[in-house]
Structure 1
Amino acid sequence: MTEQPHAPVSSGWYDDPRDATQLRYWDGILWTERTMPKLRPGLDHVGEARPVQHVDARPRRDGEPRTYPAHWGPEGSGEQQHRFGVPQPRAHDQRPTAFGTSAGEPSGVWRRFFAYFLDRIIFGVPVTLAMLPFLHSWIDEFRDFIDEASTAASNGGQMPAFPDDLTSPPLALALALFVAGFVYDTLMTSLRGATLGKSALGIRVAPIEEGDPRSPQKLPMARSAVRALIKYVPDLMSLVAVLAGIAGLLQIAILLWALSNRLRQGLDDLAARSVVRRTR
């Protein structure tokens, strides 16, 4: 396996990592499609006299077009015009550079949010259904407690104490959801580069050191596990009554942290040295 070249620090023209005969423009984040030869055509003939081509000045008949040298023409025609030695891309060649607008660039927050929502459904529904047989008695006991509390409130009586045995089933469900989410996200990210939700939204997880997005790399298993742990730690916090109230806020903060940096990295990405890129 060839070693990935180190990415330049600042934007500019550098040796093309795929073609040694040309230069490629680095925009500070990704290699663009803008290329130019290392030696501009015609520079090897600098200093040589060129034949003078004259405009055909003979009298013209009505309607007869005037002829010009072959190199004459309207500005912008033919090859791309060069300004200060740098080729200027045509309008149809220009690509949007805003984050989350083309393949290979960091994904926006909304795609990641909906991908996370889909993943929660994908692994959460089966886990909840599997836990239902163990929750039937808890549901009945909880309903009885609600009825008793409602009766006491309507009659002005003393509210009943919350039974301790009603706290165990919800904690077991929360723990099962945390384990399922952690395993699901770790395996999918390390083996496929994306969970099913991310694939549906057209995004993937890549190592921060990935050189060319068109040669995708997968995040190693250990770093995928760190990323999943940070991502689903609010589920683990919900098992502790004191921390359950801030678990949801932390989940939102992990995602919205991506708005604070250029590569759109959430807290889970910063911990795992990863970046979420678009695939389309």
Structure 2
Amino acid sequence: MTQPSGWYDDPQDPSKLRYWDGVIWTDHVTPKQAPSLEQSTIGMPQQATWGESGAAGDRPAYSRPAPMPSWPQQGYVTPQATTPDGVPLSGWWKRVLARILDGFITFFIALPLTGYFYYRYFQAALHYAEQQVQQTRSGSTPPSPFVLPAELYRWLIPIALITVLVAVVYEYLFLTRSGATVGKKVVGISVRLRETPGAPPASAVWRRVGVINGLQLLSFVPLLGNLAGIGELLNYLWPLWDPNKQALHDKAARTNVVVGPQPKRPR
């Protein structure tokens, strides 16, 4: 089934429309607003132009349409999702890459504060693993690997609290000033209110970081952590099927992650 002829999003340039004649894409393009019936020349005969000599009696030489581009034939292109004012929304993989980059950055920023706790945690973890091996060799039943001993939580909890605190301060400072963390700037995306361009206000940023880091903290709580882990997974996967490409923290803050930087606020 072929798509009816008409103006559709240009597959080569999302900021323009290109005319589909029912079979192939033509070389007629226009800005996002399609031309009116009076302005359109599609399907109309080309205007006659005179030969180079311009002498009387010369036969008019009709201009020929430009050759069709040698693109593969294709059908209707699904319009790219945008904000209400037309800014393209970020793809899911860009968001994931930005989150990974920011995770590395906040890890190294927090490392001077968490290094000692990591050292003690790994010491306790090795001791716990040795105990399990010895109990297995002696024939006794080792403790469940799904329930960590209190000694491990003694060092794990400070690590989680410091890491989350650093992540909250990091994201708050960057988003309220420019709408983008370092990771988002690297991949070329930014955060804004869905209805309004510019860096999001502090209230929206607090709601975003509250959902993200609240779920992360809950994941360290025994038993409740399993449900929090499912919530974290759903939060990050939600843009894949959401029509507005919003994660759960975007919905809480009424924000969107879009392509490109945010305009600076006037002073």
TM-score (normalizing by structure 1): 0.62
| Structure 1 residues without counterparts, runs of 5 or longer | 1-24, 26-31, 42-53, 57-63, 78-94, 211-215
In the alignment, structure 1 residue 98 sits paired with structure 2 residue 80: yes
Q: Distance in 2 between matches of 1:205 and 1:55?
A: 52
CA distance in 1, matches of 2:141, 2:231: 36
1:247 aligns with 2:223: no
How far is 1:196 from its partner?
0.7
- Tell me whether 1:34 sits opposite 2:29 in the alignment: no
Larger displacement relative to structure 2 (140-149 or 197-206): 140-149
Do the aligned partners of residues 262 and 140 (structure 1) sit closer, same or farther apart at CA in structure 2, a change above 3 Å counting? Answer: closer
* 1:220-277 deviation per Cα after TM superposition (whole angstroms, max 9, x unaligned): 0111111111122221112311122233332221122112332211111111111111
Separation of aligned partners in 2, 1:168 and 1:276: 37
Q: Secondary structure of 1:241's partner?
A: coil
The one of 142, 147, 152 equivalent to 1:159 is 142
Is the contact between residue 128 and residue 173 of structure 1 (CA under 8 Å) also seen in structure 2? no
Alignment of 1:176-215 (within 5 A): 176-210=162-196
Partner Cα separation in structure 2 for residue 241 and residue 112 of structure 1:
29
Match status 1:125 vs 2:108: yes
Q: Which structure 2 residue ranges, 5 or more long, are not aligned?
A: 1-16, 18-29, 40-47, 51-56, 68-76, 262-267
> Quick one: distance in 2 between partners of 1:267 and 1:157?
46
Deviations 1:199-224 (A, max 9, x none): 111100011112xxxxx411001111
CA distance in 2, matches of 1:67, 1:163: 93
**Preserved contact between residue 209 and residue 249 of structure 2 (Cα < 8 Å):** yes
Relative to structure 1, the CA distance from residue 265 to residue 137 in structure 2 (aligned partners, 3 Å threshold; closer, same or farther) is closer
How big is the shift at 1:141?
Answer: 3.1
What's 1:10 paired with?
Answer: none
Q: CA deviation at 1:104?
A: 3.2
Q: How many angstroms apart in 1 are the aligned matches of 2:33 and 2:207? A: 38
SS, match of residue 173 in structure 2? helix
Q: Give how far 1:192 is off.
A: 1.2
* Correspondence 1:232 to 2:230: no
Report the equivalent of 1:274.
255
Aligned length: 207
**Larger Rg, first or second structure (1 or 2):** 1
Change (3 A) 1:179 1:152: same
Relative to structure 1, is the Cα distance of residues 33 and 140 closer, same or farther in structure 2, using a 3 angstrom cutoff? same
Instruction: Say whether the 8 Å CA contact 1:175–1:239 is kept in structure 2.
Output: no
| CA shift for structure 1 position 125 | 2.8
Where in structure 1 do 4 or more consecutive aligned residues deviate above 6 Å? none
Q: 1:151 to 1:74 in 2, by over 3 A?
A: same
- Structure-2 change in CA distance of 1:261 and 1:135 (3 Å): closer
Matched, 1:264 2:257: no
Which deviates more, 253-262 or 104-113? 253-262
Q: Distance in 1 between matches of 2:49 and 2:162?
A: 84
- CA distance in 2 between partners of 1:119 and 1:149 (Å): 36
Q: Secondary structure at the match of 2:195?
A: coil
Stretch moving more, 157-166 or 177-186:
157-166
Identity of matched residues, %: 24
Backbone CA RMSD of aligned residues: 3.8
Q: 1:201 to 1:262 in 2, by over 3 A?
A: same
Structure-2 change in CA distance of 1:187 and 1:33 (3 Å): farther
Specify the alignment match of 1:17 in structure 2.
none
